[in-house]
Amino acid sequence: MNYVAYLILRRLRAPLIALIVIYSVSILGYVLIPGVDDEGNLHHMNFFEAFYFVSFMGSTIGFGELPYEFTAPQRFWTLFCIYGTVVGWIYSIGAVIATLRDQTFINLIQRHRFRNRVENLKQPFYLVCGYGLTGSAVVADLSRRGIQSVVVELKQSRIDAMELDNLPFDIPSLCADASEPDVVKDAGVAMKNCIGTLCLTDNDHVNLYIALASKLLSPERMVLSRVATREYAGNLKSFGTDHVVDPFETFADYLTNAVFSPYRQLAYNWLISPQHRSLSSVVKPQKGRWIICGFGRLGQAIQKRFEQHGLETVIIEPDPEGRKLKDDYRVVKGLGTEATTLIEAGIHNAVGIIAGTADDANNLSIVLTARELKKSLMIVARQNHHHNVDVFKAANINMIMDPNMIIAQRIMVLIKTPLLMRFLEEIKQHDEDWCEKLVCHFDVLVRDHPLDSWSIRIDRETTPAIYETLRFGVPVKIQNLSTHPQSRGVQLPAMALMVMRAGEVHLLPEQDFCLRIGDEILFCGQSRVLNQMLWTVCNTNVLRYVISGQDEASGYLWQRFFKKKDQSKDIGGSA
Amino acid sequence: MNTEKVIFAFFIILAATLNFGFFLGEIHDVDHHNVFELFAALVISLIATVMKLGDRTHLGAVLLATSLVADLQLIVAALLWAYASNISEAGLTEELIASVVSMSGGALLANVISVVLLVVETITVRR
């Protein structure tokens, strides 16, 4: 139902009735009051004349007195009517304008427009709830990849900021509380082309509501939620939320991997983040004593992992009793911002320090004090607020933990291609040497360019050329795909990471790996390669050239002509 | 008690009674039909229509429809009257007054339907 129209009509009742009453009383007055015609005879206006006169008097005073010059009683009545109709119009117009400017009314219109726009979306889209730093990073990245999104955000100021973000798409956005199921429904969660719901608000409870509503309204839809506390993480997983991203746990994993298997971590880093670090920057294993400043969510997550790996840790915490630390931990009471505390924690024998408090100023202070005391320390710092990004960059820290970027990157991996997530799982099975070789490959491929990854599926819709060629029994190899579509001798800067065939994984396939229909191939390389590769997989002529090296005729006449020539050649050859 | 509904009932019944008063009499006798009554019936019917604007219930929408029908009929009747008394050279002929009255008769039927609907709605209210 159209709520807006009903609301307008309802609000218009009083002004319309006022106008009707004023007009009818005025008309009645003119009909009743006697006048004289131009010959001095008694003349009563009829309703037609009265209605005509009142109509033009109300809007434009000054047409003159019709049909005859008025008598004094008629003029007296006209005075009343002039003020009556003018007041009536002012009131009515005022009421209409007040309705149009009313906030509830504007909200209703915006809501209505938003619903219409979402309903008219034809292409697949993601529903993004929360347009904070994470949300805006994800939406920008999605748009860059040509994926539409729909945004629901509680604060109007962030919605306004979106207009300035200069996104390539027109993104439907609504300022509303996404924890109301109505809002999520209007945002298209039950629509067929909604690929997934991303709950990115900074309130766990709201995220829980959105995830619940999304799962209830359409159970098979992918739901991803960020989460800050363990209780909510368990709660979200309990009803089948597909991906729960906890920035603290994720970063703790990341750091642990960086310490114990740096090359695997580097491979991981290159694949998920476009701004990867160079090969030379690989973090050398730093096994020894680590100082953890702040035993909050991050400190606990890291401590748990380091303890499992048997690494020595010292905790600096201003409130050890409140955090319920175990007795066998080595704890120093304090903030870590002063040299005495750090020395007491044994900074001179330590290899690394983690500034993991919830206060950015304290974290920076810890970093600077620690570096004063020991130059060669590996420094990890937690950055709580995004606006401090420049200060943290300037502090020359080995690893910075920015929760918003961690969540955004994680989501992009999931959204890019599901194969990448599988590949990242696979490389956990392999040792450091294997990973080092992989990273060296990457380095040769992309040098300073961002490393992109994409997947190609062999089927009729997405790769018609390969599909046709395979059906004719001509083998297509992986190397054909990574050949330059214009000059066969040139290899494109890309490599196949994995082939998925009927649920089975073939890691790092050889160049002469023969493809079959239904295979899914994960590639990585420079992002411009994807466009060139699409030529080969979609255009049969290009694929033929790449396989055989010949530019075959494609038109009917040319085909006939060349076939005859070829046949005669064949006959000549055999004879 | 819903005040809005009571006021609407007042207007819709008043429109019906006024219209009935105008309609009553010989169909082509001008003396039996008062133009003031037609005017009043039209004004009251318009007000009743406006009072149903923006009603989202089904019955409300039907009431809006019936009173819009009555309005249309009465407006046509008023236009005919205005044409007869001001523009037509023959003036208020018997044929014209007959068509004015029959238009108002149609409006009366719409008014009666409105009243019946209103009565039905009132009876279904338990309190």
Look-up of token digits 């229909």: A517
Q: CA of B51 to nearest chain A CA: how many angstroms apart?
A: 6
CA distance B100 to B33: 10
In this predicted structure, the answer to whether residue A347 has a pLDDT above a threshold of 80 is yes
* Helix axes A262-272 and A247-260, enclosed angle (nearest 10): 130
A7, A17, A48 member nearest B47 (Cβ): A17
The CA–CA distances, whole Å, from A193 to A63, A106, A130, A203, B112 equal 62, 28, 20, 27, 51
Q: For residue B73, what pLDDT is reported?
A: 95
Position with higher pLDDT, A417 vs A515: A515
CA distance A121 to A189: 12
From chain A, pick out residues whose CB is under 8 angstroms from the CB of B39: 24, 27-28, 31, 47
Q: For residue A565, what pLDDT is reported?
A: 56
The secondary element (H helix, E strand) that includes residue A148 is strand A148-153
Own/partner contacts of A275-284, CB < 8 Å, gap of 24 or more, are A275/A450, A276/A450, A276/A451, A278/A443, A278/A448, A279/A439, A279/A440, A279/A443, A282/A439, A283/A258, A283/A259, A283/A378, A283/A398, A283/A399
CA-nearest residue to A11 within chain B is B54
Token readout for A396 is 């020359």
* Pure H helices in A351-491: 360-373, 389-394, 403-416, 418-426, 432-446, 464-471, 478-481
Token readout for B22 is 């105008």
In this predicted structure, the answer to whether residue B14 has a pLDDT above a threshold of 60 is yes
Q: A25, A146, A438: which is closest to A269 by C-alpha?
A: A438
Band of residue A571 on the pLDDT scale cut at 50, 70, 90 = very low
CA distance A201 to A210: 10
Question: Per residue in B36-48, pLDDT tens?
Answer: 999 999 999 999 9
In this predicted structure, the answer to whether residue A188 has a pLDDT above a threshold of 80 is yes
Q: A306, A248, A300, A262: which is closest to A398 by C-alpha?
A: A262
Name the β-bridge partners of A125.
A148, A194
Query: Count of A–B CB contacts within 8 Å?
Result: 52
Average pLDDT in chain B: 90
B53, B55, B82 member nearest A47 (Cβ): B82
Band of residue A553 on the pLDDT scale cut at 50, 70, 90 = low
Count other Cβ atoms within 10 Å, centred on residue B80: 20
Q: Which range of residues forms the domain containing residue B42?
A: 3-125
Task: Tell me if B51 sits within 8 A of A6, measured CB to CB.
Answer: no
Q: Does A25 touch chain B (CB under 8 A)?
A: no
DSSP A371-396: HHH-TT-EEEEE---GGGHHHHHHTT
Phi, psi of A548 (to 5 degrees): -100, -15
Look-up of token digits 């030529």: A535
Question: Per residue in A287-332, pLDDT tens?
Answer: 778 888 888 888 888 888 888 888 888 888 888 777 767 667 788 8
Give chain B's contact residues with A (Cβ, < 8 Å): 35-36, 39, 43, 46-47, 50-51, 53-56, 78, 81-82, 85-86
CA distance B41 to B100: 13
Q: Is the dihedral of CA A165, A167, A172, A178 positive or negative?
A: negative
Which of B46, B57, B88 has the highest number of chain A CBs within 10 A, making it the mutation to test binding with A? B46
Q: A223, A159, A156, A217: which is closest to A196 by C-alpha?
A: A223
For chain A, the distance separating the N- and C-terminal CA atoms, rounded to the nearest angstrom, is: 82
* Pure H helices in A187-246: 204-217, 230-238
Q: A77, A74, A71: which is closest to A41 by C-alpha?
A: A71
Q: A68, A65, A74, A196: which is closest to A124 by C-alpha?
A: A196
Count of CA atoms in the C-beta half-sphere (13 A) of A67: 18
B46, B54, B82 member nearest A10 (Cβ): B54
For chain B, the distance separating the N- and C-terminal CA atoms, rounded to the nearest angstrom, is: 8
Name the β-bridge partners of A514.
A477
What's the maximum distance between 2 C-alpha atoms anywhere in chain B?
58
Q: For residue A56, what pLDDT is reported?
A: 86
Domains of chain A plus CATH, in order, are 1-101 (1.10.287.70), 120-245 (3.40.50.720), 284-402 (3.40.50.720), 449-553 (3.30.70.1450)
CA-nearest residue to A24 within chain B is B43
Buried b / exposed e along A116-130 (16+ C-beta atoms within 10 A): ebbeebeeebbbbbb
Q: Do A17 and B50 touch (CB under 8 A)?
A: yes
Average pLDDT in chain A: 83
CA distance B57 to B63: 10
Q: For residue A518, what pLDDT is reported?
A: 87
Q: How many domains does chain B have?
A: 1
Question: Per residue in A448-489, pLDDT tens?
Answer: 777 888 888 888 888 888 888 888 888 888 888 888 888 888
Q: Do B56 and A1 touch (CB under 8 A)?
A: yes
Task: Tell me if A200 sits within 8 A of A208, measured CB to CB.
Answer: no
What SS3 state is found at B78? Answer: helix
Task: Tell me if A34 sits within 8 A of A42, measured CB to CB.
Answer: yes
In this predicted structure, the answer to whether residue A569 has a pLDDT above a threshold of 60 is no
CA distance A259 to A288: 10
In this predicted structure, the answer to whether residue A47 has a pLDDT above a threshold of 80 is yes
Q: For residue B18, what pLDDT is reported?
A: 95
Q: CA of B37 to nearest chain A CA: how many angstroms apart?
A: 11
